[in-house]
Amino acid sequence: MKRIILSYPASIENELEKVNELLTDNEIDFFHLRKLDFDYTQMKDYLAKIDDDLHNKIIIHSHYSLITDFDLAGINLNRKALNQLVYADEVDKCFIQPLVLNNRQIEVNRELPNMVTYSAHSFEEVNNLVFDVDYAFLSPIYDSISKQNYKSNFTDKNKLKQELIKTNTKVIALGGVTDGKVNELKDLGFDGVAQLGNYWENILNEKHNFSNLA
């Protein structure tokens, strides 16, 4: 199973040091950098302070053109980001479009990201994507830890398992994922797990370990 960590929404003490340490952990496949309050310059400065040889594990959720400045793993899209998407046959050749759909592939400033991922909240959203993705997040699988009153959309686990069998897209469980729930998620058929609240709460309490992610 893939092991993925999402960035903490707010700034935390010694954050970049902790991110560099996270990225050197061989049990972590990808780090999703989601700082929606960052402008372009802030995001670029953040990435510049991460060791160059660790950039290939980072997937960004905004300011996608930064893939031309850093050797990043890829980009993550969601429903809102699709408002920026234009089709290749509609592109004005005189201008560089930020996101272009060309034969089910996403181009960023006319370059192909190494990876494209997507954040979804239903199987309908995952199965109706008009472009190819390396994997899609599905959330919230359990009640969210980082967002109060953000309740699970998938309480019927038998139905969830059947939907996972039917989909052709790799699906990553997100939302309320703790170490103790990993085995259940694996049995349900998820291709990986992603953590946000549980991981960072444990990091802040200096007691996190990945023994249950094997």
8 Å CB contact between 23 and 16: no
Residue 149 has pLDDT above 90, yes or no: no
The pLDDT value recorded for residue 88 is 84
Q: Band of the pLDDT at 213, cuts 50, 70, 90?
A: very low
Residue 170 has pLDDT above 70, yes or no: yes
* Number of Cβ atoms within 10 Å of the Cβ of 42: 12
DSSP code of residue 27: T
* Out of 71-80, 138-147, 203-212, least confident range: 203-212
Structural tokens at position 17 = 């040091």
Would you put residue 79 in left (φ > 0), alpha (ψ -120 to 50) or beta? alpha
Domain boundaries, the chain: 2-209
> What CATH number has the domain spanning 2-209?
3.20.20.70
pLDDT in tens, 21-68: 999 999 999 999 999 999 999 999 999 999 999 999 999 999 999 999
pLDDT in tens, 89-147: 777 665 666 799 999 999 998 899 999 999 999 999 999 999 999 999 999 999 987 77
Distant-in-sequence, close-in-space partners of 49: CB < 8 Å, separation ≥ 6? 16
The pLDDT value recorded for residue 77 is 98
The pLDDT value recorded for residue 208 is 44
The pLDDT value recorded for residue 94 is 53
Element (H, E) at 96: none
Q: What are the two backbone dihedrals, phi and then psi, of residue 137, each rounded to the nearest 5 degrees?
A: -75, 145
pTM of the predicted model as reported, rounded to 2 decimal places: 0.91
Element (H, E) at 195: strand 192-195
The pLDDT value recorded for residue 95 is 61
The pLDDT value recorded for residue 207 is 45
